[in-house]
Amino acid sequence: MCSREFINEQPREINKTLEREIKLARNIQMKLLNGKQPYLENGEVLGVSIPARVIGGDYYDFYVLPDGKLRIVIGDVMGKGIPAAMLMILTRGAFRSAAESTHGPGETLTAMNNAMYNDLRTLGSFVTVFCADWDPKNNTLTYANAGHNIPLTVTSEEDIAEFPKTKGVMIGGLPDQEYSEESLELDDRGFVLFYTDGIVEAQNKDGEMYRMERLCDVLLKSYQSNVKDIKESIVQSLNIFTEGVPQRDDITMVLLKSR
Amino acid sequence: MFKYSTIEKEKDIEVHLEGDLDIDGTEVVKEELIPMLQEYEQIKINFEKVLFVDSSGIGLLLELVQSLQKKEKKVSIINVTENVANVFELLQLPEILGEEVFL
């Protein structure tokens, strides 16, 4: 007589437990991801990640090196949601331990690929990662790329460009990879944007994409702004464009501005 | 919606993909294409009508091509649109799957 009630009760309980655990997982991810932003004497840096679902697979992180440089990393795990979030945590661990023991961004990516390759191949997944060391003494970025979107540098209200290209296979793509490094002297008053493709591929209700042109427009108009205001302008522009259409992919950006 | 059609000639087959290659292509690639293509020796994958591919789609493509290469099938990818070619290049797919795959 009451067995029916019991049967109906079970899925509700399971759902409640799952919901609670996903919320906890989101908390863990958000706390790890949006941790303390480093204070810089000669510049400002800001990172933000907005998952498409409750949790996401994008990743960014900072690591202050003993010589005063700041190591910045941004990554995008294949897929989204819970599976991507699990691999994002793996990526974070690989970056944190690589950052401590490697000399430059190229070596960091090699160490991350060595640490993660077998697991990612087993799981049929991969991660794109861009890693850069900012030297505040000469305002120079040294960087290496593992298949990630090339960051943008804004040098005036009219000038924006991608970083000079450097090639590298995504993490989990091929074993034993070397990643070449490039350097870029930053503009004293300009800024750079590291980002994931969720920004330029955000869609409106007609299925049209936000695209690079719109992002560049916002960035040029933000030339004089501080990193917090630049971030706000990008998020606002995306919101206006998408008009509340649910986000398809995780959106992540890191802004760096010298002063 | 992601779909495909095929043109077959004995042991050769050309698969025309159509639509965005993303997570919604999972069933088509894993449950239909991979098992079906095992019967052929030369496989051409035509990307002419694929205008967008995301990371999940790239994962599916890698699985598709690598599973066929493991069985020593000759796989080639043809007619890639500019947007999709840019993604392939960024991820260095020719280096991973072999330059000869991309015609």
CATH number at residue B54: 3.30.750.24
Q: Give the per-residue pLDDT at A33.
A: 85
The answer to whether B54 contacts A126, with C-beta atoms less than 8 Å apart, is no
Q: Give the per-residue pLDDT at A12.
A: 81
ipTM of the complex: 0.88
* A202 three-class SS: coil
Q: Return the ∠ at Cα A14 (arms to A10 and A20), rounded to 5°.
A: 145
Mean model confidence pLDDT for chain A: 93
pLDDT tier, A4 (very low <50, low <70, confident <90, very high otherwise): low
Q: Which of B55, B92, B96 sits opposite A78 (nearest CB)?
A: B55
pLDDT above 70 for A189: yes
Task: Name beta bridge partners: B103.
Answer: none
B59 CB neighbours in chain A (<8 A) are 78-79, 124-126
Cα separation, A250 vs A75, in Å, equals 11
Q: CATH number of the domain at A24-197+226-232+252-258, out of 3.60.40.10, 3.40.120.10, 3.40.50.1820, 3.40.50.2000? A: 3.60.40.10
Our CA-based measurement puts residue A166 at a distance from the nearest CA of chain B, in whole angstroms, of: 10
What are the strands of the beta sheet with A251-258, ordered from one edge? A43-50, A251-258, A191-195, A152-154, A160-162
Chain B residue whose CA is closest to A84: B56
Describe chain B by its helix, strand, coil percentages, rounded to 5.
45, 30, 25
Q: End-to-end CA distance of chain B, in Å?
A: 26
Nearest to A108 by CA among A58, A79, A70: A70
| Residue-wise pLDDT tens digits, A148-162 | 999 999 999 999 999
Q: Give the per-residue pLDDT at A34.
A: 80
Going from N- to C-terminal start, the domains of chain A cover 24-197+226-232+252-258
Q: Give the per-residue pLDDT at A9.
A: 59
Q: Give the per-residue pLDDT at A37.
A: 87
Residues 6+ apart with CB under 8 A from A80: A51, A52, A53, A56, A57, A249, A250, B23, B56
Query: Per-residue pLDDT averaged across B46-56, rounded?
Result: 95
B96 CB neighbours in chain A (<8 A) are 169, 173-174
pLDDT above 70 for B85: yes
Q: What are phi and psi of B24, to 5 degrees?
A: -70, -10
Chain A residue whose CA is closest to B53: A201
DSSP A89-124: HHHHHHHHHHHHH-SSHHHHHHHHHHHHHHHHHHHT
Chain A residues interacting with chain B (CB cutoff of 8 angstroms): 76-80, 124-126, 128, 147-150, 167-170, 173-174, 197, 201, 249
Chain A residue whose CA is closest to B90: A147
Q: What are phi and psi of A62, to 5 degrees?
A: -125, 150
* A47 three-class SS: strand
Our CA-based measurement puts residue B9 at a distance from the nearest CA of chain A, in whole angstroms, of: 31
Chain A residue whose CA is closest to B88: A147
Domains contained in chain B, number: 1
pLDDT tier, A1 (very low <50, low <70, confident <90, very high otherwise): very low
pLDDT tier, A107 (very low <50, low <70, confident <90, very high otherwise): very high
Q: Give the per-residue pLDDT at A13.
A: 83
Chain B residues interacting with chain A (CB cutoff of 8 angstroms): 23, 52, 54-56, 58-59, 62-63, 90-92, 95-96
pLDDT above 60 for A81: yes
